[in-house]
Chain A
């Protein structure tokens, strides 16, 4: 699969992002439970990109590493960033719009999770789930 990029600029694009991840995972032959896990993680991060990042994009691509195949999602926004990323990763951290489970939950539901949000430079969040 070649990489695809989806804009996340409005609320209507959240269901689109979920659908794209779900369909790609099904095509790749992921188990249904893993599709549910990873689409949920994607939904949490996509909403962050939209609400806290003021919009951005999601790049979706397959990756191969040490004989494994996985799906990688890269979320980018040009928002204010997060001054205290470590704190934001703790369960229960909330900005009042969700349940405070977004980042920590997405991390739990991914095999690889990295986040970089230098203040003033926006956020880069990478999620990987191996097949």
Chain B
């Protein structure tokens, strides 16, 4: 299969939105691709959006857990965002727990979660300057 899943750079985050039902090979190539991007971009965080996924089976669950573990070894944090409720229920009944994988309800919350994980007060993503010069984080 020649298609790939695009990895986007957003500040010091690597962002992936999985929009298709991946075959196993594609899932594994995403794992390798992301690891390389983390290194190339010196990314501090990885966000994986799975809101378009109807199912997460044990294989995809393992790939997500592996990505988080690899990213962690490369000094980046991973947040999986946008899981559908039906997927969450099914994963629990299937017996999968994504140990070590952090989740957030949506992309925005995922970005905030990584932003909060600052090193010496330095934000992981560039702050967005609003007109009044106030950091959006402060106004929440």
Contact = CB atoms under 8 A, between A and B. Distances in A.
Contacts of A105: 58, 93-96
B23 A11 contact: yes
B139 interface: no
Nearest to A31: B86
Interface string B84-114: 1111011001111000000000000000000
Interface string B32-75: 00000000000000000000001111110110000000000000
A32 interface: yes
B128 interface: no
Counting chain A residues whose Cβ lies within 8 A of the other chain, the interface size class is 20 to 34
A39 B93 contact: no
A37 interface: yes
A91 interface: yes
A99 B62 contact: yes
Nearest to A43: B57
B135 interface: no
B62 A43 contact: no
Contacts of A39: 54-55
Counting chain B residues whose Cβ lies within 8 A of the other chain, the interface size class is 20 to 34
A100 B25 CA distance: 19
B58 A11 contact: no
A32 B1 CA distance: 29
B93 A108 contact: yes
Q: Which 3 A-B pairs have the closest CB atoms?
A: A105-B94, A36-B86, A43-B57
Interface of A: 11-12, 14-15, 18-19, 22, 32-33, 35-37, 39-40, 43-44, 47, 91, 97-102, 104-105, 108-109
18 contacts: A11-B1, A11-B23, A12-B1, A12-B23, A14-B23, A15-B22, A33-B89, A36-B54, A36-B84, A37-B86, A37-B90, A43-B57, A43-B59, A44-B94, A91-B95, A101-B58, A101-B96, A108-B94
